[in-house]
Structure 1
């Protein structure tokens, strides 16, 4: 069992995404964190600079198109989240954490889509 609130960290992540707050979002990640995005082919990002490059444009889209929390669940080694962008594009994200209570890795991939969804996370 961890000494920190994994669910709370993911809720903070959701709040930062809704607000388009890149600095807060990046502060939730460990310095050597990685993001693996499977939404438009497999892409890997590691470390704060690469995560900033990945998240910057996406946060702009989230804040203008709308970002919705669909499901959030604890799993044996972290938290799984499903969110929507623009009310229809659904993304599944799996979060794993460092012992210090920072997000160490995020894997995102398309979730089951509504008939009108397109695109990328």
Structure 2
């Protein structure tokens, strides 16, 4: 396995989300990457074109509503991240990586919400 900075890749992912930079975000993923989102039912996407379909409307929302980094830490499988949208909705995302330093898979799900905000999922 190549030596690469998994945390750095996720920080780049956060930066691309904050800027609404779809091209940069997609470039962080492997060509055959998979994304599973369980925030509103279970949705699965595979490959660059499907990831683009998933991310394009969300990045617009992030840039308008605000995207915040809450927690980031290494995990046995890769990196776990918690972020917020509009300062309230909290999402947990787990990243796994390919040997060449690309995101191989992402699983996102609602995180435990702040009691005073409730869950908007």
Range into which the TM-score falls when normalised by the shorter chain: over 0.9
Aligned to 1:11: 11
Contact 1:40 1:119 in 2 (8 A): no
CA shift, 1:2, in A, is 5.1
Unaligned runs of 5+ in 2: none
Equivalent position SS for 1:87? coil
**Closer, same or farther: CA 2–79 of 1 in aligned 2, 3 Å:** farther
Deviations 1:37-93 (A, max 9, x none): 000001100000000000000000001100000000000110000000000100000
- The 5 A counterparts of 1:55-74 are 55-74=55-74
- The 5 A counterparts of 1:25-64 are 25-64=25-64
With structure 2 as the length reference, what TM-score do the two structures score?
0.95
**Structure 1 ranges of 4+ moved more than 2 A:** 114-120
Contact 1:65 1:86 in 2 (8 A): yes
With structure 1 as the length reference, what TM-score do the two structures score?
0.95
Deviations 1:75-114 (A, max 9, x none): 0110000000000100000000000000000000000112
RMSD of aligned C-alpha atoms?
Answer: 1.1
CA shift, 1:119, in A, is 3.1
Task: Give the paired residue count.
Answer: 120
Once residues 99 and 74 of structure 2 are traced to their aligned partners in structure 1, the CA distance between those partners, rounded to angstroms, is 16
Contact 2:2 2:100 in 1 (8 A): no
